[in-house]
Amino acid sequence: MSNKMLNDIVISKAIIETFSKKLIDYLKVDVAIVGGGPAGLIAGYYLAKEGVKVSLFERKLSIGGGMWGGGIMFNEIVVQDTGKKILEEVGVPVKKYKENYYTADSIQAVSTICSKATLAGLRVFNLMEVEDLMIKNNEVRGLVVNWTSVSLAKLHVDPITIESKYVIDATGHPSEVSHLLQQKAKIKLATESGDVVGEKSMWAEVGERDMNENTKEIFPNVFVAGMAANAVFGSPRMGPIFGGMLISGKRVAGMLIKKLV
């Protein structure tokens, strides 16, 4: 055991000063991702790898979204050929089950993706939620964020703002950013009706197929990825197959890398 003295106040100051610096450094970013599920994390990984300044806001304590629980809490996920390639690129061990069906341990999948994404430079702010968007002259300029504990405790505490060139809605089933856009700005989204259509019942094949096409810009500077993309465009959910989420995250990253790098 070291006999060096430990000062409690130094420990507190270390946390407060380094966190504050981190937040101040990321008040202005190229891309702000809302939601730390597989789609948001994979988008963050590929963006950060290309040197894009990218942050991710997750309202929960842990990032990983719905991936930890596999299917019905059996902690294995399924991916198809295209999803397998992405897992392998990130370094997640994959096992073949049958032709075009592969499994991965969901704990290994989430922890490896989180590790690779944050080491590549993705800056994650957990326990923070996006409660609004910064919209000026009908253009989205960033996010309005607050501590999750504020809404949980129903406190009246004002949020702060994050400026970003692009926003990714990776909030999963609730597609919260797209709903905010619709409710707050009364704007027409790039869907047939101009509104969030809402996800359809389970159909893995169509859900996975549509997700590729649904991953796109829905309003200038705002992109949807992952389950949020299918919810916005009215495509089916797909159950515990995660290839679509990974492909969607990589696809949206590619679209933004073209614009930024």
* Residues in contact with 250: Cβ distance below 8 Å, sequence separation at least 6, in sequence order: 42, 43, 46, 86
Nearer to ligand 48H, 3 or 134 (CB): 134
Residue 59 CB, shortest distance to ligand 48H, in Å, is 4
Give residue 15's identity as a one-letter amino acid code: I
Residues that bind ligand 48H (CB under 6 A): 34-40, 57-60, 65-67, 129-130, 170-174, 176, 202, 226-228, 237-239, 242, 245
CA distance 234 to 247: 18
**78 to 34, 94, 214: CA distances (angstroms):** 24, 9, 21
In this structure, the number of other CB atoms found within 10 A of the CB of residue 166 comes to: 24
Nearer to ligand 48H by Cβ, of 120 and 206: the residue is: 206
- Which CB atom, from 52 or from 78, has the smaller least distance to ligand 48H? 78
Output 32 or 94, the one with its CB closest to ligand 48H.
32
Beta strands in the chain (DSSP E): 28-34, 54-58, 76-79, 95-98, 101-105, 123-126, 128-136, 139-147, 160-169, 216-219, 222-224
Residue 101 CB, nearest distance to ligand 48H (Å)?
A: 15
Rg of the chain over all Cα atoms, to the nearest angstrom: 19
Based on CB atoms, which residue is closest to ligand 48H, 28 or 173?
173
For ligand 48H, give the closer residue by CB, 52 or 238. 238
State how far the Cα of 216 lies from the Cα of 219, in Å rounded to an integer: 9
Which residue, among 210, 148, 140, 194, has the nearest Cα to 169 in the 3D structure? Answer: 140
Nearest approach in angstroms of CB 230 to ligand 48H is 9
Distance between CA atoms of 58 and 191, rounded to whole angstroms?
Answer: 26
How far is it, in rounded angstroms, from Cα 9 to Cα 166?
39
Considering the complex, what minimum distance in angstroms separates the CB of residue 6 from ligand 48H?
Answer: 35
Minimal distance, residue 253 CB to ligand 48H, in Å: 13
What is the closest distance, in whole angstroms, from the C-beta atom of residue 62 to ligand 48H in the complex? 8
